[in-house]
């Protein structure tokens, strides 16, 4: 620095004053954002700050992380628990909505706080870290529930745990015979890649179970060189990588933006897995893309992208009813035939039914001499 003092170490921005100082919000917005910070956590890591184009007022990276006073406006259709975690919590830290899998939330802290987060009412820097007794009770629940074949670590961000604590959790889960799969969901590789240390990778690679890490990213620029380097460390440890995104207004709501995102994922050997319709958490309306528009965007992508780049477009239904596919339909029944839209020419093509086949929507009759499901 000009005065000879050492340069300031990059730091995570956590309040309005820091955002103003960094040039990310105007000074006049500070009072409102201070009020907002009392309700919803703020955190922009140095890695995220480095991705933001301050010359672009509509920068898609800033839009995901920089708070806006509009977040304090809650619409009637918005819910504090839009995916209904609470009614499906048998013990603290566990959410069991689906018969064969359950969530484990060992903490509620994240390296960054997305402005559209569906758990924004509960996540924050205080952490919500399960106590040793609470964690052991949650792990005991998994051991005592044989219908559950997949444990999904989420939160918060499980990669905010120390390698030692994460390794302990994975060891306990790995010792449960009926568990086949362990999945983790994290923003760390793209938002705090320096946390992906050899010790963390070793902890993740220590299990004999099938382990998948689902990387949350919403824009191609998030796969910057530090993120790609972190992902290489994970791959070398044997961690299989999936990608999860949210369809967001002003971030990725065009065929071009989604194509770039999914291609960036594949280039980093991250398989696009889910594209979520926005969960209607309080104060998130500015991010919502209507379902019809989302379907049209995906329809435009079909045929332009390799099938490896194609995620499932889903809506997590309120009330705990599960994830429903929203992807565009390309086939329409026409008697025993199907009219199928070509993904390259977008023209209808007739797929004839076979002779004797039932019309679409009708059940096939059982073969002669057989009942509906019996033996001959």
The string of pLDDT tens digits covering residues 293-352 is 999 999 999 989 999 999 999 999 988 889 999 988 888 898 999 998 888 888 989 999
Average pLDDT over residues 173-202: 98
pLDDT (0 to 100) of residue 213: 99
| CA dist., res. 140 & res. 135, Å (int) | 9
Q: Catalytic one among 101, 105, 115, 195? A: 101
148 confidence band (pLDDT: 50, 70, 90): very high
Q: What's the pTM?
A: 0.90
Residue with tokens 């000879």: 4
pLDDT (0 to 100) of residue 222: 99
pLDDT (0 to 100) of residue 52: 98
In the predicted structure, residue 361 carries a pLDDT above the cut 80: no
Task: For residue 40, indicate whether it is catalytic.
Answer: no
In the predicted structure, residue 17 carries a pLDDT above the cut 60: yes
In the predicted structure, residue 368 carries a pLDDT above the cut 80: no
| CA dist., res. 132 & res. 9, Å (int) | 34
Average pLDDT over residues 274-282: 97
The dihedrals phi and psi of 317, each to the nearest 5 degrees, come to -70, 135
Of 217, 271, 262, which Cα lies nearest the Cα of 239?
271
Of 207, 228, 95, which Cα lies nearest the Cα of 153?
95
Q: Catalytic one among 40, 63, 97, 120? A: 97
| Residue ranges of domains in the chain | 16-71, 86-325, 330-361
Q: Which has more confidence, 368 or 66?
A: 66
For residue 21, what are its two tokens? Answer: 């100082």
In the predicted structure, residue 171 carries a pLDDT above the cut 60: yes
Task: For residue 187, indicate whether it is catalytic.
Answer: no
Task: For residue 165, indicate whether it is catalytic.
Answer: no
146: which residues sit within 8 A by CB, 6+ positions away?
Answer: 178
Task: For residue 113, indicate whether it is catalytic.
Answer: no
Task: Give the relative orientation of helices 255-267 and 291-301 as an angle to the nearest 10 degrees.
Answer: 60
* For the chain, percent of residues with pLDDT exceeding 70: 92
For residue 290, what are its two tokens? Answer: 């209507």
Listed range (52-66, 138-152, 330-344, 352-366) with the worst mean pLDDT: 352-366
In the predicted structure, residue 357 carries a pLDDT above the cut 90: no
CATH class name, domain 86-325? alpha beta
Q: Catalytic one among 295, 323, 334, 337? A: 323
Q: Catalytic one among 114, 183, 253, 302? A: 114
pLDDT (0 to 100) of residue 354: 80
For residue 222, what are its two tokens? Answer: 């998030």
- Report which secondary-structure segment, H or E, holds 147: none
Average pLDDT over residues 118-122: 94
Q: Catalytic one among 110, 214, 253, 302? A: 110
Query: Given CA atoms 358, 347, 261, 113 in this order, what sign does their dihedral have?
Result: negative
| pLDDT tens for each residue of 74-115 | 999 999 999 999 999 999 999 999 999 999 999 999 999 999
Average pLDDT over residues 342-371: 69
pLDDT (0 to 100) of residue 330: 86
Task: For residue 9, indicate whether it is catalytic.
Answer: no
358 confidence band (pLDDT: 50, 70, 90): low
Task: For residue 279, indicate whether it is catalytic.
Answer: yes
| 214 labelled binding-site residue | no
Task: For residue 323, indicate whether it is catalytic.
Answer: yes
Average pLDDT over residues 237-241: 98
| pLDDT tens for each residue of 248-265 | 999 999 999 999 999 999
What average pLDDT does the structure give for the chain? 92
pLDDT (0 to 100) of residue 4: 57
Task: For residue 117, indicate whether it is catalytic.
Answer: yes
Cβ(253)–Cβ(289) below 8 Å: yes
């Amino acid at each position: 620095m000009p005065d000879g003092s050492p340069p300031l170490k990059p730091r995570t921005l956590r309040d309005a004053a820091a955002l103003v100082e960094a040039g990310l919000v105007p000074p006049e917005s500070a009072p409102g954002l201070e009020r907002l910070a009392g309700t919803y956590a703020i955190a922009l890591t140095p890695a995220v700050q480095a991705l933001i184009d301050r010359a672009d007022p509509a920068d898609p990276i800033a839009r995901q992380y920089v708070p806006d006073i509009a977040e304090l406006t809650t619409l009637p259709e918005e819910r504090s628990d839009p995916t209904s975690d609470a009614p499906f919590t048998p013990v603290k830290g566990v959410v069991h909505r689906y018969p064969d899998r359950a969530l484990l939330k060992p903490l509620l802290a994240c390296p960054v706080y997305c402005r559209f987060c569906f758990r924004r009412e509960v996540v924050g820097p205080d952490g919500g870290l399960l106590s040793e007794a609470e964690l052991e009770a949650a792990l005991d629940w998994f051991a005592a529930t044989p219908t559950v074949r997949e444990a999904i670590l989420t939160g918060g961000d499980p990669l905010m745990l120390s390698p030692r604590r994460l390794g302990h959790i994975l060891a306990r889960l790995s010792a449960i015979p009926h568990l086949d799969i362990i999945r983790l969901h994290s923003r760390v590789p793209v938002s705090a890649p320096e946390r992906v240390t050899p010790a963390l990778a070793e902890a993740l690679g220590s299990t004999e179970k099938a382990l998948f890490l689902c990387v949350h990213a919403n824009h191609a620029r998030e796969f910057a060189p530090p993120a790609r380097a972190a992902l290489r460390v994970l791959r070398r440890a044997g961690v299989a990588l999936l990608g999860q995104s949210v369809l967001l207004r002003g971030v990725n709501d065009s065929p071009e933006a989604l194509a770039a995102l999914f291609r960036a994922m594949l280039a980093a050997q991250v398989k696009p897995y889910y594209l979520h319709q926005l969960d209607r958490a309080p104060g998130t309306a500015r991010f919502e893309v209507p379902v019809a528009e989302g379907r049209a965007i995906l329809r435009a992508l079909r045929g332009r992208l390799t099938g490896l780049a194609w995620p499932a477009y889903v809506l997590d239904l309120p009330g705990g009813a599960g994830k429903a596919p929203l992807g565009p339909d390309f086939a329409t029944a026409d008697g025993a035939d199907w009219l199928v839209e070509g993904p390259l020419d977008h023209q209808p093509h007739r797929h004839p039914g076979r002779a004797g086949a039932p019309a679409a929507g009708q059940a096939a009759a059982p073969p002669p001499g057989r009942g509906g499901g019996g033996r001959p």
